[in-house]
Structure 1
Amino acid sequence: MNFKQLSKQVSTLCLLSATLICTLTSPAYAATPLHGISMHGDLKYPSGFEHFDYVNPQAPKGGTVTQAAIGTFDSFNPFIIKGAAADGIGLIYDSLLTRAQDEAFSLYGLLAESLEVAEDRSWIIFNLNPKARFSDGQPVTAEDVAYSFKLLREQGSPFYQAYYREIEKIEALSSTQVKFSFSSTENRELALIVGEVSILPKHYWEKHDFTKPGLEVPIGSGPYLIDSFDAGRTISYRRNPDYWGAELAVSKGRYNFNSISYDYYKDGTVALEAFKGGEYDFREENSSKRWATGYTGAVFDEGKIITQNLAHENPTGMQAFILNTRKPYFSDSRVRAALAYAFDFEWTNKNIFFDAYTRTHSFFSNSEMAATALPSEAELSILEPVKDQVPSEVFTQVYRAPTTNGDGKTRSQLRTALRLLKSAGWELKNGLLLNKDGQQMVFEILLVSPAFERVVAPFSRNLERMGIKPSMRVIDASQYINRIRSFDFDIIVSGFGQSSSPGNEQREYWHSSTADQPGSRNTIGIKNPAIDYLIDQIIQAPDREQLVLRTRALDRVLQWNHYVIPQFHTSSYRVAYWNKLDFPAIRPTHSLGFDTWWVKPEQPGQ
């Protein structure tokens, strides 16, 4: 072998060695950059799309809009369980991705101009937009992203720790590239939901105490800035003229108001009168009585205020009387089932709500995920592993909340309730419902809205006819928040909102791991291994069909455990607004889309 041949062989070996070393040491996560990501199925909007269909890209910019808020605020930190955060505070923050509100669950680039994701979704890389800036001009970096998740999971609300617990590692690969690695390849939603978190500036929060609520104005990267505020009374945001993302496709036609304000009121009745007096511009009504009787007068007759019912396709979830199962009375499902017979929805809807509502029977009402028929063979196979841990009715009956004919006569319903209570060890003696120790059933129904007293009053009267001694207490918003966070209540009126693509949030609602976490949304206090199993099945659903089937299975088990007394829902937004406002002809199917509205330009002579 001559020197030339030897040199060539050595060179070849070196090249092979270098290639091998490169292969072994290079990250094994090369993937095609994508402009968006969908939970199941294809994206509606292609790469390079100009704007969402439900916006008006030529919407005029300018003007001010004022809305009402109820209660008070003492904090600009919505990420912790302490304090009452100001309404609208999310306007100052951006996330890596943003939702399309006309798709079930699809996200498109915001702070991240593109993403790369493993086929099995075991990791995702976000490539930050080099133009992304915080409101103080500092660039948004991969280090800010990693810091945000560390801060939220270690010092934020317990929600973040539970929701993102399967994030195994976060790496800043460069100043504009960050990688999330996950401990499970079965949680397909996780790659999406990490993209929805507000990204916080490290250079600001490392100098401040994140755990304390306060009114020092924070730094964000969103389309608005805090302009002014009067603690607990009003807050105003102004559109950031230097907002880095104003020209992005996902921003076109949105954030049209120059100024957005929230004025605080003690209750909805006072707020409505202020609205009719021109004190603010837009109102979404949640009281059927006010909607039926309160929106009258010259300002409506003359068209100065417009009222509309705007239909939506959102799951309406479950609004209900929430029973705290941590309390001895409500740990027995027979007691919980019995109390439901005291709520006469049909009479209430006719006499109080002007027939404005539909009775809720499902935790996923107004969606294909609601269990409204007997389980199919496919559902039965999902339920089989927990067959011995769930009520038998799950397999043999379709759950329907107790109903009446609406005439106010509930004798037969209350007799059924008393039979259930007797089986649970309670006896009606001399007009009192007593346990084996001779103690009467006594509990408190805690409210934050005086308007709901009229709903609770007839419910309480029926409870009293059963020998129970209920009390009703209305407290202010701050007290209410603190008591809910510490699970210091017997019964409350609350709800569990649902999206079109249920996933990790189900852990926060019903999983055993969140039952004892102060501030968690497992207000019921559920600790049920069968439910834990079904939540995992939902999170691991490989496709839309399985997601629907597994969610129906969970719905059945929640229904037949009688954790709540279902109330009612409506599938439209009831909105009223002064005629200076307008909105696009095409509306998003999965949100009100108020961020696409605008103030009409003044016409000559106005």
Structure 2
Amino acid sequence: MHLNRRIAALAAACVAVASAALAEPEHGLAMYGEPALPPDFVSLPYANPDAPKGGRIVFGEGGGFDAFNPYILKGRSPYGLRVHVFESLMGRSWDEPFTLYGLLAESVETGPNREWVEFQLRPEAKFSDGTPLTVDDVIWSFETLAEKGLPRYANAWDKVESVEKVGARGLRFTFSEQDNELPLILGLRPVLNPRDWEGRDFAESTLDVPTATGPYTVGRFEPGRFIEFVRDPDYWGKDLPFNRGQHNLDVIRYEYYADGDVIFEAFRAGEVSTFRESNPAKWARDYDFPAVRDGRIVKSEIPHQRPSGMEGFVFNTRREPFRDWRVREALIQAFNFDFVNRTLNDGAYKRITSYFSNSDLAMQPGAAEGKVAELLAPFEDTLLPGALDGYGLPENTSGGRDRAAIRRASALLEEAGWTIRQGTLRNADGEAFTLTISLDSSARLISLTPSEQEAVANIWRDSLARLGIAAEIELVDSAQFAERKDAYDFDVIINRWGLSLSPGNEQYLYWGSDGVEQPGTRNYMGMDSPAAEAMIDAMLTADDHDGFVAAVRALDRVLMAGRYVVPFWFADRTLMAHKATLRFPDTLPVYGDWIGFLPDVWWSEE
């Protein structure tokens, strides 16, 4: 990121956040306004405080693992470590856009303009080995993550001017610049046990079992095959209101499969407890096996109101010819969404037309107006066509061969210097237009199994061939695929960015210019946009919700007009099949089946 420019922009935009100011320590902290739950709340609204404890759940996962540190680039760590074993100072309610309640910290206080945040630790908080949690442990964790952890931890830490102890259990962070989200980011930062890394380098990948503060500990495991998380009966925080109705299952087991498509067969056989079905045609057709008919397995549809996020084919603009927006637009035109959707999904899904589809944060159709137009106006000369006057994806004909779209794509390619010679698309130097679509051979995305990813790629490849483009599809094992993604070593991949109702600093990790060269970010397309960074700055310094929404919508316009992704589709509900003994509350969070839902608030009931 261009730090000097960002600081100047932030200084010019500094506005007091009076609604967020806290005069004294509080039980929770919201991005805007006040927390929805009072200090004496009984449980989170989507948790059942009377849920029984016991039972087990088994998940099927693609790929494998070979490390137990989820906070560094090296190694592949089980996802469950972050959500079951490690904790943070505060915990998130997934029924509010962005509100935190005390977890390891019993209270939080901020300055009038959120220029500092102070946490008071709970005296009863401790690690799974019985060691009390201290202020020094928290400071060591935050500093170590910033110095040796994933890039996103350093980005926020760069804005921390100082850290000081306050009494026996307090610590205060003072910030060097305005960023209204910083207190919440620090509240969600994982707290580690420094003694776990005595005598070894934090940045090195190992299978040493961590002793964290969370409700589960690591049980039996075999690298690459399975891992179990066992509920800790001595968990220090089991009686906190925030935790009531959560962490109900005694054992959470993850089984790993080399072929992601085998997971459904394992579910049918009773070896896996749940299965998220991404294909509505299969949901209607393939769930008539005995366990469903006799009631051992039930089908649940779980609605949500969260943004769609973005999923699709991602162009690596670090490489030619994807640096030219006209080429990217041509390849988007060549993707017949209607045909793909009918072929794979019986036409059931809506297309992603915004990085925030399905929410109020999505850009509005037509030309930018009001505050959105004001935010984008200083960058008018650098914005791509459509950002200000409106950008929309092509509307395909229902057939498999959309001749009009192919003609539009051919015209764009010719304008960019690519013409057909001897049946092959070539540039002025005679070089053929070729690209490779790299796919993870075992990892399942939310909307696509590995075989469905390959099917979509094959349909798109056939359309590209009509343009004279030779597209190759390569299947890569999960470990190599992750390494190549981190190093941006690809032409085109399928990726998904899950986005929330409270986008913030993580947007720098996704779209910030540092990610053009710095490995390990999620800026897979390699975009370098001062306008995008300015919109993120505006989000973080907005003094009210309306200003925040305008900044997000403006960012959405920059992203969509950038033409970095060939968007797929989204669903406004999860199709979940699960064992009948597994239950979840009737009251659902606004995010639906998302982080904090399964297995967090589920329970087992024979």
Give TM-score scaled by structure 1 length. 0.92
* Distance in 2 separating the partners of 1:417 and 1:217: 53
Cross-structure match for 2:492? 491
Cross-structure match for 2:397? 405
Cross-structure match for 1:135? 128
Cross-structure match for 2:321? 329
Cross-structure match for 1:309? 301
Q: Secondary structure at the match of 2:472?
A: strand
Q: In the alignment, is the contact (CA less than 8 A) between 1:285 and 1:574 conserved in 2?
A: yes
1:307-386 alignment runs, 5 A limit: 307-373=299-365, 374-386=367-379
Q: Secondary structure at the match of 1:108?
A: strand
Cross-structure match for 1:549? 550
The correspondence for 2:64, drawn from 69, 72, 75, is 72
Whether 2:434 is the aligned partner of 1:446: answer no
Shift of 1:116: 1.3
* Distance in 2 separating the partners of 1:219 and 1:289: 44
Cross-structure match for 2:537? 536
* Distance in 1 separating the partners of 2:481 and 2:493: 10
1:148-547 alignment runs, 5 A limit: 148-185=141-178, 187-288=179-280, 290-373=282-365, 374-397=367-390, 399-449=391-441, 450-451=450-451, 452-547=453-548
Q: Secondary structure at the match of 1:88?
A: helix
Shift of 1:386: 1.3
Partner deviation per Cα, 1:174-233 (whole Å, 9 max, x = no partner): 441111111112x10111111011100122223332111121111100000001101110
Q: In the alignment, is the contact (CA less than 8 A) between 1:146 and 1:171 conserved in 2?
A: no
* Distance in 2 separating the partners of 1:133 and 1:350: 53
Cross-structure match for 2:140? 147
* Distance in 1 separating the partners of 2:321 and 2:494: 18
* Distance in 1 separating the partners of 2:311 and 2:500: 14
Partner deviation per Cα, 1:547-570 (whole Å, 9 max, x = no partner): 111111111111112111111111
Q: In the alignment, is the contact (CA less than 8 A) between 1:144 and 1:201 conserved in 2?
A: yes
Cross-structure match for 2:603? 598
Q: Secondary structure at the match of 1:523?
A: coil
Task: Report how many residues are paired.
Answer: 571
Q: In the alignment, is the contact (CA less than 8 A) between 1:146 and 1:172 conserved in 2?
A: no
* Distance in 1 separating the partners of 2:585 and 2:534: 43
* Distance in 2 separating the partners of 1:59 and 1:88: 21
Cross-structure match for 1:573? 574
Q: Secondary structure at the match of 2:321?
A: helix
* Distance in 1 separating the partners of 2:280 and 2:65: 26
1:113-132 alignment runs, 5 A limit: 113-132=106-125
Shift of 1:585: 1.4
Q: Secondary structure at the match of 1:331?
A: coil
* Distance in 1 separating the partners of 2:72 and 2:285: 39
449-458 vs 415-424, which moves further: 449-458
* Distance in 2 separating the partners of 1:576 and 1:391: 44
Q: Secondary structure at the match of 1:306?
A: strand
Q: In the alignment, is the contact (CA less than 8 A) between 2:307 and 2:355 conserved in 1?
A: no
Q: In the alignment, is the contact (CA less than 8 A) between 1:361 and 1:400 conserved in 2?
A: yes
Change (3 A) 1:484 1:292: farther
Cα RMSD (Å) = 1.5
Shift of 1:87: 2.9
Q: In the alignment, is the contact (CA less than 8 A) between 1:163 and 1:507 conserved in 2?
A: no
* Distance in 2 separating the partners of 1:516 and 1:117: 35
Cross-structure match for 2:447? none
* Distance in 2 separating the partners of 1:442 and 1:173: 60
223-232 vs 524-533, which moves further: 524-533
Shift of 1:392: 4.2
* Distance in 1 separating the partners of 2:101 and 2:237: 13
Partner deviation per Cα, 1:223-255 (whole Å, 9 max, x = no partner): 000011011100001100110000001000000
Q: Secondary structure at the match of 2:576?
A: strand
Q: In the alignment, is the contact (CA less than 8 A) between 2:22 and 2:112 conserved in 1?
A: no
Q: Secondary structure at the match of 1:463?
A: helix
Q: In the alignment, is the contact (CA less than 8 A) between 1:514 and 1:522 conserved in 2?
A: yes
Q: Secondary structure at the match of 2:406?
A: helix
Cross-structure match for 2:444? none
* Distance in 1 separating the partners of 2:301 and 2:592: 13
1:75-90 alignment runs, 5 A limit: 75-90=67-82
The correspondence for 1:56, drawn from 45, 48, 57, is 48
Q: Secondary structure at the match of 2:88?
A: coil
* Distance in 2 separating the partners of 1:367 and 1:276: 35
Shift of 1:288: 4.5
Shift of 1:418: 0.8
Corresponding letter in the other structure for 1:204: D
Shift of 1:287: 4.2
Give TM-score scaled by structure 2 length. 0.92
Q: Secondary structure at the match of 2:507?
A: helix
* Distance in 2 separating the partners of 1:240 and 1:220: 11
* Distance in 2 separating the partners of 1:384 and 1:363: 21
Shift of 1:30: 10
Q: Could you list the runs of 5+ residues in structure 2 that have no partner in the other structure?
A: 1-20, 442-449
Corresponding letter in the other structure for 1:586: T
Cross-structure match for 1:13? none
Shift of 1:531: 1.6
* Distance in 2 separating the partners of 1:427 and 1:254: 60
Q: In the alignment, is the contact (CA less than 8 A) between 1:292 and 1:354 conserved in 2?
A: no
Shift of 1:37: 0.3
371-380 vs 105-114, which moves further: 371-380
